Amino acid sequence: MPNGCVKLVLVPFLRDRCRRFQMTSSSRLPSSVLASDQLGFASIDAVTAALASAGYISTPSISTALYLAHHLRKPVLVEGPAGVGKTDMAVCISRALSYPLLRLQCYEGLDESKALYEWQYGKQLLYTQVLKDKINHLIGDADSIEASLAKLSGFRDLFFSREFLAPRPVLKAMEQDGGSVLLIDEIDKSDEAFEALLLEVLADYQVTIPEIGTIQAQTPPLVILTSNNTRELGDALKRRCLHLHVGFPDADREQQIVRARVPDIAQSLLKQMVDFVQSLREQDIRKLPSISETVDWARTLLLMHAEALDPALVRSTLSVLLKRQTDVISLDGKLDSLTHAAITGPGAAA
């Protein structure tokens, strides 16, 4: 297999293979995994239904990736444009499984003190002061430096112990006995050093702390990493993950997504606005409108009591969809025809 993430291809026999895997390996899975099967991850179709109940409209490739990640205990690297629902996927997974969600937002310069753990220096200093005040009582009748150090050795070890450790999202996810969803959001915004820091976590579900040792997850978390492809990720990280690409949805799925988020919108207006957004994505503009912006536009139109699109309404609310003024200017001469086509249906613009 070449370097990089596992490519998920939905082939006719995949569902049968997954069912066979479930039957032959269920006895080796943690009890929390078996319990979550009852909550909705027992099959690929069950994953789709569970996500739908949590408000996420899945696809066969998404459901397959999550099913495999859950049962194989493999992280999933989810790539795609910003705003297509990658983060929301992790949120809905945690709802569907009734797992706590631990989220780590990545940024340049992120290190272990914000991602894994941090020593509570204030408590350590307080402990040092207490030890200083009690030093004579602790040493007692020791008559040499060696004897004094021998009596204090236990306290010196306590200084770097679990009591003084503040867990951050990654370590917190490892410590959830009943399982958890760990969302490492926008991993492409971090640097290569942080990627290297994650390798042990992604491969073995453990964190090594030099002063304490290795902390192994009792129940491996379901790890979701998201990337907007602002930079190329390292092969070492990709090899440890399943790969899933989430792109812009087709019109039918986009209508379902908007309906799930904005249930009060009229069907006729929903179809018009989704057709209009779909046509915008075919234009030569720098920032294509995402699903989140479609949902925001639906809420905007509902707030304005719109019953149908018209050119004036589209122009007045276009800033909800387009975030660059250069894109607004470039489409100025096309808005009327695009609006007319969305109102009257496919082929009308011709």
Ordered DSSP codes for 132-188: HHTHHHHHTT--SHHHHHHHHHHHHHHHTSGGGEEE-HHHHHHT-TT--EEEEETGG
Say which residue, 17 or 287, is predicted with more confidence. Answer: 287
Average pLDDT over residues 150-174: 77
Average pLDDT over residues 253-266: 95
Q: What is the pLDDT of residues 193-218, one digit of tens each?
A: 999 989 989 999 998 888 888 889 88
The CB-side HSE value for 3 (13 A sphere, CA atoms) comes to: 5
Q: How confident is the model at residue 14 (pLDDT cuts 50, 70, 90)?
A: very low
Pairing of strands 165-167, 117-119: antiparallel
Q: Is pLDDT of 102 > 60? A: yes
Is 41 in contact with 47 (CB distance < 8 Å)? yes
Q: What is the pLDDT of residues 275-310, one digit of tens each?
A: 999 999 999 999 999 999 999 999 999 999 999 999
State the pLDDT at residue 153. 66
Is 84 in contact with 246 (CB distance < 8 Å)? yes
Q: Is pLDDT of 6 > 70? A: no
State the pLDDT at residue 32. 47
Average pLDDT over residues 171-181: 91
Q: Is pLDDT of 262 > 90? A: yes
The least confident of 119-123, 151-155, 273-277 is 151-155
Give whole-number Cα distances, 110 to 32, 222, 337, 340, in Å: 31, 21, 47, 48
Say which residue, 4 or 134, is predicted with more confidence. Answer: 134
Average pLDDT over residues 31-52: 74
Phi and psi at 177, nearest 5°, equal -65, -35
- 114/307 Cα distance (integer angstroms): 48
pTM for this one? Answer: 0.79
Cα-based torsion angle of the residue sequence 312, 295, 63, 92 in order, rounded to the nearest 10 degrees: 180
State the pLDDT at residue 116. 87
Q: What is the pLDDT of residues 112-122, one digit of tens each?
A: 888 988 887 77
Which residue has tokens 């939905």? 10
Length of the chain counted residue by residue:
350
Within 8 A by CB and 6+ apart from 276, the residues are 309, 314, 338, 339, 342
State the pLDDT at residue 89. 96
